[in-house]
């Protein structure tokens, strides 16, 4: 039996209702196309860190370099340390993955697409979520895309090729 390479996927993209609003964001390209070729490993950083479903929405805030993860509607909520601690424990265990598909615009999972708010104003929409930053820092050679990027067939094919060939080079 041929063993499929494993790729990580933001869990809400697989149709699991784990989002802050109790909904999911199923992505047919991930489920059908990538699911044919890879073993899909579902990961939801916010739920695995211990947050509930549903939960108050959070956003990146306060700083471009080291943003906090605070409540969108209630700024007293701050789950930055909770998610950082989760990343510290979880990310070293992901060294068997050959790629990762992340959910765009998420304050945890977004890669170069997440808004940051400073003093209530959106100052960029091209930042990365806390989990995505930690993943990329630990595995700089890991092929990572967002689900919106693989709508382009060239990007999808490039990702499939890279994830099929590339193995993680280990923690840095
Ligand atoms: S975007 Fe990431 S943290 Fe948010 S629900 Fe999906 S998997 Fe969970």
Which DSSP string corresponds to 134-167?
Answer: HHHHH-TTS-EEETTGGGSHHHHHHHHHHHHH--
Q: How many Å lie between the centroid of ligand 1 and the Cα of residue 101? A: 11
Ligand 1, residue 11: give the atom nearest the CA: 7
Cα-Cα end-to-end distance for the chain: 33
Q: Are the beta carbons of 45 and 87 closer than 8 angstroms?
A: yes
Atom nearest to 45 CA in ligand 1: 3
Report pLDDT for 166. 58
Phi, psi of 81 (to 5 degrees): -65, -40
**CB under 6 Å to ligand 1: residues?**
10-12, 18-19, 44-47, 103, 106, 108-109
The answer to whether 113 touches 104, Cβ cutoff 8 Å, is yes
Question: What atom of ligand 1 comes closest to residue 47's alpha carbon?
Answer: 8
Order of all β-strands in the sheet with 38-43 = 38-43, 5-10, 100-102, 144-146
pLDDT of residue 86: 98
Distance 172 CA to ligand 1 centre (A): 25
Closest ligand 1 atom to residue 103 Cα is 1
Residues of the chain with confidence (pLDDT) below 50: 168-172
Which among 50, 108, 129 is the best mutation to test ligand 1's pocket, defined by most ligand atoms within 8 Å of the CB? Answer: 108
pLDDT of amino acid 2: 73
Cβ neighbours, 10 Å, residue 60: 29
Q: Across the strands, what pairs with 71?
A: 58
């Amino acid at each position: 039996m041929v063993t499929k390479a494993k790729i990580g996927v933001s869990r809400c993209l697989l149709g699991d209702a784990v989002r802050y609003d109790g909904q999911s964001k199923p992505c047919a390209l991930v489920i059908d196309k990538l699911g044919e070729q890879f073993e899909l490993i579902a990961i939801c950083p916010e739920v695995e860190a211990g947050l509930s479903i549903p939960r108050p929405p959070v956003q990146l805030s306060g700083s471009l370099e080291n943003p906090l993860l605070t409540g969108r509607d209630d700024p007293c909520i701050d789950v930055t340390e909770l998610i950082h601690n989760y990343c510290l424990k979880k990310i070293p265990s992901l060294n068997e993955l050959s790629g990762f598909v992340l959910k765009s615009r998420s304050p945890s999972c977004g890669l170069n697409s997440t808004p940051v708010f400073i003093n209530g104003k959106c100052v960029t929409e091209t930042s990365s979520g806390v989990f995505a930053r930690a993943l990329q820092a630990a595995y700089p050679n890991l092929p990572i895309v967002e689900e919106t990027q693989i709508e382009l067939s060239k990007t999808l094919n490039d990702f499939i090729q890279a994830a099929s060939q590339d193995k993680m080079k280990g923690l840095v």
